[in-house]
């Protein structure tokens, strides 16, 4: 509820509740002042235990995923083989990511709670009642997948075993390998959280090794002369740098697709705010850790992309699809060290991401089910009594991921399609966050956040988001992101979001109005002490 120039917030348990906070039962009396805002900080049992170094590692581990090993081929293809346009896409994506990061840092300094995008949207867009909460929750459930990493694990596993790229792209074997990994991961996390986290930490250490290999190899390729490396330079800085290999494919739509794939590679920057309540001195820590981590990622990505274009001819690079990382290391380090050892490392890094995403998604799903917006929420939010793990939330992530892996064809277009399908609605929400920052500043003109996003950067974030959302509807379509039996990715994403809005309208507006009742939240305590919100019908007298 509003009190002058401040905002008082109460939440009904540790879950990230909806923005209609005046409806919820206050469960905590711990209120801390942050720049004039009164924000109910969550009483997390683990407390604030993440320092500066831990937060930087967390940022880097979430930013460095499978993107840099898989997307450059599709990005170059969408740019018509033009190296200048290709690097421009990465530069724009980096600038927009930095702009988005500072928008999140400003909002996070005012609202230092775990939840990230969901919490920010709920604080900004409070009306209509629970609309944003419901739509974003359903979106998170529907897109709570580990699809891209499962695909990469399957493809890179086959490639390191000696199978040709033609075989990998023409059979479903890689999809079945990905399914096996997802099922195994679900079983491990479902049986024992402790052992699941131990495995993902071990595999996560390999990611740091892979980042080191990437940096050293890039420097070796770029700065050492040909007489040492024995590699031909396929990226001369002359007129060919600015030339298209196929300018006919370039359109507003393909550029939008290229940007979405670049954003996918930088995507982890927005996820660290989901654990803001666990960070020591979050304002100072995030202000340092965020930009440092994102700059490390940008520098590494630029070096790696320069190395790609030096080693791999552009035509071959555009045709390599998600296997570009393995192709690069094979050319630089040879068959055994490059194709087998490093490719295995990339596959294991993808497996690490699968473990992390399944674990994180199950917790996110459980928190969403605790809000009670969807049917069977009480069952889905509960922990399995024999293992005390969120088994039902784990199974949802597993079933949805396996369904897509069965449905999708093995060709490279499937990967580009999924990246664009996941990225499109994400960009909608990030754009709304950018607009929302102006709303917050106007709503509370007397408040000065400890971290301020620049006006120019915020405007750029909004403008690029609008462009990415509108461009697919203009000009020739980007064939590299289409699958014959599915709607275009942007249409599919909008259909899903429309269905989520329709669900909200039926549950919270139309049916209550037609039948004469209102929905009020009620807290239910499960056998293990977990609290779940249930929306009960209060009939009009």
Contact 371, 12 (CB under 8 A): no
- What Cα–Cα distance (Å) separates residue 191 from each residue in 8, 84, 313, 357, 391? 40, 50, 47, 17, 8
For residue range 92-149, list pLDDT tens digits in order. Answer: 999 999 999 999 888 888 876 666 788 888 888 988 888 998 999 999 888 888 888 8
Tokens of 315: 């035509």
Query: How far apart, in whole angstroms, are the C-alpha atoms of residue 395 and residue 228?
Result: 52
Average pLDDT over residues 256-272: 84
Model pLDDT, residue 196? 77
Q: Which of helix, strand or coil describes residue 235?
A: coil
CA angle 109, 113, 114 (to 5 degrees): 120
Q: Among candidates 376, 471, 363, which has minimal Cα distance to 423? A: 471
For residue range 332-356, list pLDDT tens digits in order. Answer: 888 888 888 888 888 888 888 888 8
Residue 230 pLDDT > 50:
yes
Query: How far apart, in whole angstroms, are the C-alpha atoms of residue 457 and residue 159?
Result: 42
Model pLDDT, residue 13? 36
- Spatial CB neighbours of 121, under 8 Å, sequence gap ≥ 6: 19, 132, 133, 136, 429, 432, 433, 436
Q: How many domains does the chain have?
A: 1
For residue range 449-468, list pLDDT tens digits in order. Answer: 888 889 999 999 999 999 98
The better pLDDT of the pair 518, 200 is held by 518
Residue 278 pLDDT > 70:
no
Model pLDDT, residue 114? 62
- What Cα–Cα distance (Å) separates residue 278 from each residue in 248, 325, 347, 451, 503? 50, 35, 30, 19, 33
Model pLDDT, residue 144? 81
Name the one residue in this structure whose structure tokens are 């994400």. 426
Query: How far apart, in whole angstroms, are the C-alpha atoms of residue 507 and residue 518?
Result: 10
pTM, to two decimals:
0.81
Query: How far apart, in whole angstroms, are the C-alpha atoms of residue 260 and residue 421?
Result: 9
Model pLDDT, residue 20? 38
Binning pLDDT at 50, 70 and 90, where does residue 26 land? very low
The better pLDDT of the pair 276, 390 is held by 390
Tokens of 386: 């024999």
Buried residues in 242-254 as b, exposed as e (16+ CB within 10 A): eebbeeebbbbbb
Average pLDDT value for the chain: 81
Query: How far apart, in whole angstroms, are the C-alpha atoms of residue 135 and residue 371?
Result: 12
Residue 425 pLDDT > 50:
yes
DSSP string, 439-467: HHHHH-TT---SS---HHHHHHHHHHHHH
The better pLDDT of the pair 83, 414 is held by 83
Tokens of 58: 């967390």
CA atoms within a 13 Å half-sphere pointing along the CA-CB vector of 336: 0
For residue range 47-104, list pLDDT tens digits in order. Answer: 555 678 877 877 777 788 778 888 899 899 989 889 999 999 999 999 999 999 999 8
Query: How far apart, in whole angstroms, are the C-alpha atoms of residue 433 and residue 427?
Result: 10
Model pLDDT, residue 24? 32
- The number of residues making up the chain comes to 541
DSSP string, 6-62: EEB---SSSS---S-GGGSPP----EEEETTEEEE----TT-S-B-HHHHHHHHHHH
For residue range 463-508, list pLDDT tens digits in order. Answer: 999 998 998 888 666 666 677 778 888 899 999 999 999 999 999 9
Q: Among candidates 216, 179, 206, which has minimal Cα distance to 64? A: 206
Tokens of 217: 């190899």
CATH number at residue 251: 1.20.1740.10
- Its domain, for residue 20, covers 2-539
Q: Among candidates 307, 356, 357, which has minimal Cα distance to 332? A: 307
Contact 524, 541 (CB under 8 A): no
For 149-163, give the secondary structure using H, E and C.
HHHHHHHHHHHHCCC
Binning pLDDT at 50, 70 and 90, where does residue 312 land? very high
Binning pLDDT at 50, 70 and 90, where does residue 183 land? very high
Q: Among candidates 7, 14, 64, 10, which has minimal Cα distance to 356? A: 64
For residue range 318-328, list pLDDT tens digits in order. Answer: 888 888 888 89
């Amino acid at each position: 509820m509003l009190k002058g120039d401040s905002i008082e917030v109460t939440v009904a348990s540790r879950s990230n509740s909806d923005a209609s906070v005046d409806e919820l039962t206050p469960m905590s009396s711990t209120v801390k002042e942050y720049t004039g805002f009164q924000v109910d900080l969550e009483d997390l049992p683990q407390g604030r235990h993440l320092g500066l170094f831990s937060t930087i590692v967390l940022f880097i581990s979430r930013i460095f995923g499978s993107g840099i090993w898989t997307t450059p081929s599709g990005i170059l293809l969408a740019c018509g083989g033009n190296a200048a346009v290709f690097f421009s896409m990465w530069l724009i994506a980096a600038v927009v990511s930095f702009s988005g990061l500072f928008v999140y840092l400003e909002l996070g300094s005012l609202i230092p709670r775990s939840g990230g995008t969901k919490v920010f949207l709920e604080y900004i867009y409070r009306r209509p009642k629970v609309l944003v909460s419901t739509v974003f929750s359903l979106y998170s459930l529907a897109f709570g997948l580990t699809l891209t990493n499962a695909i990469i694990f399957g493809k890179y596993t086959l490639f390191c075993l000696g199978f040709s790229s033609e075989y990998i792209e023409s059979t479903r074997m890689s999809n079945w390998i990905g399914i096996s990994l997802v099922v195994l991961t679900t079983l491990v996390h479902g049986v024992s959280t402790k052992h699941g986290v131990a495995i993902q930490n071990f595999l996560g250490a390999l990611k740091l090794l892979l980042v080191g290999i990437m940096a050293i190899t890039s420097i070796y390729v770029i700065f050492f002369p040909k007489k040492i490396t024995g590699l031909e330079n396929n990226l001369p800085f002359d007129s060919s740098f600015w030339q298209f290999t196929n300018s006919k494919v370039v359109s507003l739509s393909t550029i939008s697709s290229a940007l979405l794939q670049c954003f996918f590679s930088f995507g982890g920057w927005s996820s660290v705010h989901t654990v803001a309540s666990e960070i020591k001195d979050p304002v100072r820590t995030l202000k340092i850790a965020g930009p440092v981590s994102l700059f490390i990622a940008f520098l590494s990505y630029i070096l790696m992309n320069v190395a790609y274009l030096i080693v791999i001819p552009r035509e071959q690079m555009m045709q390599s699809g998600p296997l570009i990382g393995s192709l690069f290391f094979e050319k630089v380090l040879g068959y055994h060290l490059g194709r087998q050892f490093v490719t295995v490392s990339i596959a294991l890094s993808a497996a690490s991401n699968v473990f992390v995403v399944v674990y994180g998604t199950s917790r996110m799903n459980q928190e969403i089910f605790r809000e009670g917006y969807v049917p069977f929420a009480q069952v889905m939010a509960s922990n399995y009594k024999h293992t005390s793990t969120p088994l039902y939330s784990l199974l949802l992530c597993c079933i949805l991921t396996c369904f897509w892996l069965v449905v999708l064809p093995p060709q490279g277009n499937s990967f580009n399609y999924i990246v664009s399908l996941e990225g499109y609605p994400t960009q909608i929400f990030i754009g709304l966050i950018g607009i929302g920052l102006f709303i917050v500043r106007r709503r509370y003109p007397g408040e000065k956040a400890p971290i301020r996003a620049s006006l120019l950067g915020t405007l750029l974030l909004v403008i690029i988001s609008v462009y990415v959302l509108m461009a697919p509807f203009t000009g020739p379509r980007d064939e590299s992101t289409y699958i014959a039996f599915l709607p275009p990715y942007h249409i599919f994403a909008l259909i899903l979001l429309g269905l989520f809005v329709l669900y909200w309208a039926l549950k919270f507006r139309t049916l209550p109005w037609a039948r004469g009742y209102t929905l009020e939240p009620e807290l239910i305590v499960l056998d293990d002490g977990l609290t779940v919100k249930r929306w009960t019908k209060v009939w009009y007298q």
